[in-house]
Structure formats: C-alpha cells, structure tokens
Structure 1
Amino acid sequence: MTVEFADIRTERLLLRRLTEADREAVVRIQTDPRTNRYHPEPPDAAEGEAKFDSWLRDWDHDGFCYLPVRELPGEQIVGVGGLQLRKFSTDLVLNLYYRFLPEVWGRGYATEMATAVIAWADRTLPQYPVQISVSVQNQPSLNVAKRLGFQTYLETIHDGALSRHFRRD
C-alpha cells in the first residue's frame, strides 16, 4: 500500500513529508531529555538516528509516516508527529504520535497537528483505526487525547511503562 501525502497547512503549522534534511532537528527533539521525561528508557543519539531511518523507509513504503512540524511563517521545526501504520496486538492501526520542543509546549500545537492528520487519515485510510498510546504518568499527552475526543479502551505495559491506549468511538 502506498498513498499520496500532500503537505497539510493548518492555521499555524506546516506538516510535510520527512526528508533527510530534517534529520538533525528531528533527532534532537527525539533525544532531548525534556521531551522524554515520561519514557522509562529515553532514546540515545544512535536510537534516534535508527528511528529516523525507519521513518524514512516507512515514507518510501507507505507514502506516509511521522513528519516534521514547522511553525508558520518561519522555517523552524518545532516538533515531530503524525501517523504510522503499526501492528498493535492483532490489529493494524494508525499510531498517532506527537513530540514537541519544550519551548513551544502549551501552545496547542499537538492538538492542532493531530486534528489535521486525523482528518487526512479519515479521508485517505478510513479502514484503519487511529490509536494513541500514552504513559499514564504523562498528563499533558493524556489531555491531548481527551481534547481530540479519544476514549480509553485498554491499559497495558507499552514501551516499558503502564500505558493507556485510546481510540475513537
């Protein structure tokens, strides 16, 4: 399956395909200890690079994956997020992910980005449920899931932490 992804502009953000030119900014966000405070085993630089490489492969294979989030009208990448096709238990799901520079926390960018990519998924890939998996200690991300209208459907140990998994009704 390969879909076509066109840039998405929201009121304040540009969401576009991940490219090699984004590596430094994205790996910096992924490995920043402040963005990993709820992650029991934060990625080091090598793991950040490996994730970035896997996301580029997913873009090539599926036509979408996690993407850099640019604050408009500037050029700075302030976050990474979006949807990745993943297997969760026995289901194929679109995993919704968001991670932003601490300097932009509290501006609503995660909700704005997520709303835009969910709308894209509803039009393009309606056969897959969108899922959010969040550590139960990560109240800011739990708040985003709630603002998006997602409901808890399961709690498990995920990525080394007790996590709540959300889907829409």
Structure 2
Amino acid sequence: MADLGSVTWPPAPIRTERLLVRGLEARDRPTVVDLNASPEVGAYIGGARPRDELERSIPEVPRDRPGQFAVDLDGTAIGVVTLDAHDGEHEASPAAGRVELGYLFLPEVWGRGYAREACAATLAWFAGVLPREPVVLTTQVANERSVRLARRLGFVEAMRFDAYGAEQWFGIRPPVRVSPPTPVTRRQVTAP
C-alpha cells in the first residue's frame, strides 16, 4: 500500500498550461465550502451538505494533507483533486489498500478541460514520486462525464458494484512502466 505520508508535503506547485495545482491554503476555504454545498457537485456523491453546517465544520485552513490539491486558475481555486491512500478500514470497497483519485470542480468551470488538465498533472506528479503504485477511481455509472474523464486519464474499467444505492464504476490506472534505457551502439560513420 502506498504511504503518502512518506512524500514531502506539500509538493512544489505543479504548473500546467492554464492551471496551478498546489497544496490547500486558507484562501481556498470558500471554494471548499461552495464545492460541498453545490447540488450539482453533490449529485453523484451523496448530495449537497447544508452551507451553515459547512461554515461551522470546515476549518479556516482546509485540511492540507498528503494527496490533497487545490486547482488554481488565475489566483482563484476552482476545484480540488485528491489522491486518497485508503488504509483498508472499509474492506468492502475495492479501493481498500490502494490510492484513489478524486476530483471536485465548481459547476461554472465544467466542460473546459480543467479537470482533465489538473488530474493528468497530479497523476504525472504521483507517478514521479511513487512510480510503481497503481491508482484507482470510483464513480457512479450514471455520472457519464466522470466515467469519460476517467477513461481519458487512462483508467480501465475493472468492475462495477453497488454502493450507496447506485451502481459504481471502478477503474484502475496501471503504474507507470519505466523502460530500461535503449543501449547506444556505436557505428562508424564514413565521409561521403
């Protein structure tokens, strides 16, 4: 099982073409509240939570732990990407003992490719620090956008199962395979 606690955290910010993927900061709290209070975001993850409850329960600096990233567009957080190292406490989950990718983005930025860009950068970072670890992803089958994104990111459907009153799609992204270097052969070059 991957130990994200052994990874230096937060890592250096990851720059993509349009985004900055970084550790969470106090300024990200309003976005974390908005994500969890949004009916659109919560549609496939158990529903929106009451805003007043979130305002009371989310600390001034949202939990900044290994595997949790803010996705920043022009200085403002638009989403969160997580790599959650499941420790096996929920043995019924196929993610037990594995690292699971998760993502939440504000509805007003959906459809612009930000989730794919941020998740791909996060997965590339992860492959650099723990190259032999596969990553898994679970989403509701009904969440077609999320299933499409998972496939674009290289996840392959491994199984479907019922949980939380809905059919779940479970995918695995195999670890990055590092090829041995190609041997360089010398050949003699002759002048024409």
TM bucket, shorter chain: 0.7 to 0.9
Name the structure 1 match of 2:24: 18
Name the structure 2 match of 1:37: 43
TM-score, normalization by structure 1: 0.82
Unaligned runs of 5+ in 1: none
For residue 6 of structure 2, what is the amino acid of its counterpart?
T
Q: How far off is 1:33 after superposition?
A: 0.7
Unaligned runs of 5+ in 2: 175-192
Name the structure 1 match of 2:148: 143
Name the structure 2 match of 1:131: 136
Q: How far off is 1:51 after superposition?
A: 7.1
| Residue number among 68, 71, 83 corresponding to 1:69 in the alignment | 71
| Residue number among 2, 12, 18 corresponding to 2:6 in the alignment | 2
Deviations 1:78-117, CA, capped at 9 Å, x for gaps: 1111312124537422211111111111111111111111
Q: Call closer, same or farther: CA 1:118–1:50 in 2, change over 3 Å.
A: farther
Q: Which has the larger radius of gyration?
A: 2
Q: Give distance in 1, aligned partners of 2:55 and 2:154.
A: 30
- Is the 2:135–2:172 contact (alpha carbons within 8 Å) kept by the matching residues of 1? yes
Richer in strand (by share): 1
Q: How far off is 1:154 after superposition?
A: 1.9
TM-score, normalization by structure 2: 0.73
Name the structure 2 match of 1:79: 79
| Residue number among 158, 164, 167 corresponding to 1:162 in the alignment | 167
Q: Call closer, same or farther: CA 1:87–1:47 in 2, change over 3 Å.
A: farther
RMSD: 2.5
**Counterpart of 1:144 in 2: which secondary structure?**
helix
Richer in helix (by share): 1
Q: How far off is 1:127 after superposition?
A: 4.3
Deviations 1:5-25, CA, capped at 9 Å, x for gaps: 111010011011112332121
